Amino acid sequence: MMEVPLAFLSAGSKGKITRIRGGKCLIRRLNDMGLTRDSEVTVICSHSCPNPGHGGPLVVEVKESRVAFGRGVAAKIMVQEVED
């Protein structure tokens, strides 16, 4: 399967984290929130703004918790889409 940024998934989609493109601090912060390699995430809400290049927060469910973060961070989390 193809690897895509988490920010590209729509609400209701599931993905398996393959890697996080970022520095040690970002990786540690996301790991502390449960976003680790091979974790499965479900996109709960993917807000978008009508202006191109802008977007709102992404809400995902991971390990029975919900986490929200901006699209910049979501673009650094690489996933493979998982079929139900």
Domains of the chain: 3-82 (2.30.30.90)
Element containing residue 72 per DSSP (H, E): helix 71-74
CA distance 36 to 83: 19
Q: What digits encode the pLDDT tens for the residues 26-83?
A: 999 999 999 999 999 999 987 654 444 556 789 999 999 999 989 899 999 999 999 8
Q: Token pair of 50, please?
A: 């009508």
3-state SS assignment for residue 62: strand
Q: What digits encode the pLDDT tens for the residues 7-26?
A: 999 889 999 999 999 999 99
